[in-house]
Structure 1
Amino acid sequence: MRKTCLDMIHRLALTDSRVVYVGSDPSAGTLKQMAKDVPDRFIIEGIAEANLIGMAAGMAMDGLMPFVHTIATFLTRRCYEQVAIDVCLHDLPVRLVGNGGGLVYAPLGPTHTAIDDLALFSALPGMAVVACSDADEMVRLMQASLSWPGPLYIRLGKGGDPVISKEENGFAIGRAIPMRKGSDVLLVSTGVMTGRALAAAEILEADGIGCAVLHAHTVKPFDGEQTVALAQGKRLVVSVEEHSRIGGLGAAVLDALAASGPVPPTLRLALPDSFVHQYGSQDALLERFGLQPEGIAASITQAIRKR
């Protein structure tokens, strides 16, 4: 997914003169070919994220479409005021590419785990927030990004995730994609958690629990209409995300349900409201917090039995 996103910036730059890559301390050799093909639109700014955002905002004001790329925690925390005032206040078409969303950088500890990025950027007026499920869907998002009028945050996984998206389902920012039908439970997921949600649904199916899966790649603007429609008649509505339970996808699901009338029984599966002090792989920590398929299925089964 990560490589696909960056390669798409290069591809888009070859056909759209507005596209600029602005990186902050990327790995050596990142987009090396783009630097050769369009050197005037390939910029490595350095480790100064607030300045990075100011540069990008100025470019956007001059008609360019900068894709700002750095580690997600640095992009969402270190320059929050600049994103709010320089980019969102002016409703500029800056694309903020957050590398390593969620627990990708868990081996580096709590300073690098982006577990609050969806909540932080969803709070900004005008900001769209998207987390793709796989590399194929990333291609469709990047193509759609050219026509999106305002600021856009793109949460990147580490890559190598199984491809679960389908081209025939289409892609539009703000429109969730039904991935699976089921009569008992609606499971709403985002990003790479959708693959795990689908696997959990298979486990539940074997136990006689029909689980529909809705892939909400766009956390904001959230597709409340489809969520509410699919929630009708379900015994339980579940949100699952690689993010703090504060803000994020779960909050968007509950807001949509509350706005439509009485809220059905709900379950929010997410990371706890704390820093992740454990070190380890992304998969190991997802397992620890019950966010792998077996853990998701077990939590849903337990919630249904309690009712």
Structure 2
Amino acid sequence: MRQTSLKMVHELARKDPRVLFIGSDLGAGTLADMKKEFPDRFFMEGVCEANIIGMAAGLAMEGYVPYINTIATFLTRRCFEQVAIDLCLHDLPARLIASGGGLVYAPLGPTHLAMEDIAILRALPNMTIVAPVDAEEMVRVMEASLDWPHPMYIRLAKGGDPVVSRAENGFEIGRAIQMAEGSDALIVSTGVMTTRALEAARSLAADGVAAAVLHMHTIKPLDAEALLRLASATRAIVTVEEHLASGGLGTAVLECVSDAGLAKRVLRIGLGDVFPEGYGSQEHLLQSNGLTAARIRDTVLTAIGGRAS
């Protein structure tokens, strides 16, 4: 997914002279072709994430569209003030391409796990947050990002994820995509968790439970219209995200449902209020923290009392 996003930066740079790239201490070969073709629009800085945010803000003020890439935790925890003041306060069209959203960097431990990135950025006015499900949807995200007038956080998975998105569904920032139909429950997911939500929906269907799946690729602005329309037609809502259960997608869904006065049960699946323990693979941490299709299935059954309508 990361390679797809960076290749798209180069493609966009060919189409639009406003596009430029800023990296923070990335590998020597990163976007080598773009560096060769557009040396004046390629910048590789050192370990100075706060500085590159200010740099991107200045360039955006001069009419450029900066695409910035580094590890998700460094784009959020490390330079939160600069993102808030330099980018969001001025509502500048910079793109934060965040590598390793969620538990991707499990081998490096809790310092590198982007488990609260959505929560802290969702609180910022003007910020847009997008988490595509696969590399093909990433292409559509990048195409849509070019003329988006606000700062944007693009949350990347590790890459190599199964392709479940469909070109015919299109892509529009702020418009969720329904990927399965059902009237018993609504599963709302984002990023690569949508793949597991679909797997859970298939398992439920085999037992006669029809669960709709809404892929909320844009967490902010949330597609309240699609959410409330589907929620009104189902008995309960289950949210799933590779993120803390508090502050992210699940919280956004709860707020939307509550503000609309919709009386629906909402159960959230996410990380608990702890730093995940141990090191290892992303899959190991996903399993040990219950971010699985089996748990989604069981949570849906709990939400609806274990019976189809």
- Tell me the equivalent position of 1:151: 151
Question: Equivalent residues in 2 for 1:86-165 (5 A)?
Answer: 86-165=86-165
Q: Which moved more, 1:128-137 or 1:257-266?
A: 257-266
- Tell me the equivalent position of 1:274: 274
CA distance in 2 between partners of 1:168 and 1:306 (Å): 34
Local SS of the residue matching 2:296: helix
Question: Equivalent residues in 2 for 1:184-195 (5 A)?
Answer: 184-195=184-195
| Preserved contact between residue 132 and residue 191 of structure 2 (Cα < 8 Å) | yes
Local SS of the residue matching 1:165: coil
CA distance in 1 between partners of 2:256 and 2:191 (Å): 19
Deviation string 1:121-153 (CA, Å, 9 cap, x unpaired) is 111100000000001100011000011001000
Local SS of the residue matching 2:305: helix
Deviation string 1:201-238 (CA, Å, 9 cap, x unpaired) is 11111122111000000000000111010011322101
Aligned residues: 307
TM-score by length of 1: 0.98
How far residue 199 of structure 1 moved from its aligned partner, in angstroms, is 0.4
Q: Residue 275 of structure 2 aligns to which amino acid in structure 1?
A: F
How far residue 183 of structure 1 moved from its aligned partner, in angstroms, is 1.2
Q: Residue 248 of structure 1 aligns to which amino acid in structure 2?
A: G
- Tell me the equivalent position of 1:255: 255
Question: Equivalent residues in 2 for 1:1-80 (5 A)?
Answer: 1-80=1-80
Q: Residue 249 of structure 1 aligns to which amino acid in structure 2?
A: L
| Preserved contact between residue 232 and residue 262 of structure 2 (Cα < 8 Å) | no
- Runs of 4+ in structure 1 off by over 6 angstroms are none
Question: Equivalent residues in 2 for 1:192-207 (5 A)?
Answer: 192-207=192-207
TM-score by length of 2: 0.97
How far residue 306 of structure 1 moved from its aligned partner, in angstroms, is 7.2
- Tell me the equivalent position of 2:212: 212
CA distance in 2 between partners of 1:82 and 1:50 (Å): 6
CA distance in 1 between partners of 2:195 and 2:262 (Å): 30
CA distance in 2 between partners of 1:39 and 1:273 (Å): 45
| Preserved contact between residue 238 and residue 299 of structure 2 (Cα < 8 Å) | no
Q: Residue 289 of structure 2 aligns to which amino acid in structure 1?
A: F
| Preserved contact between residue 287 and residue 295 of structure 1 (Cα < 8 Å) | no
Q: Residue 132 of structure 1 aligns to which amino acid in structure 2?
A: P
Unaligned runs of 5+ in 2: none
Question: Equivalent residues in 2 for 1:171-186 (5 A)?
Answer: 171-186=171-186
Cα RMSD over matched residues?
1.1
Deviation string 1:170-226 (CA, Å, 9 cap, x unpaired) is 110000000000110100000000011000111111122111000000000000111
CA distance in 2 between partners of 1:262 and 1:40 (Å): 53
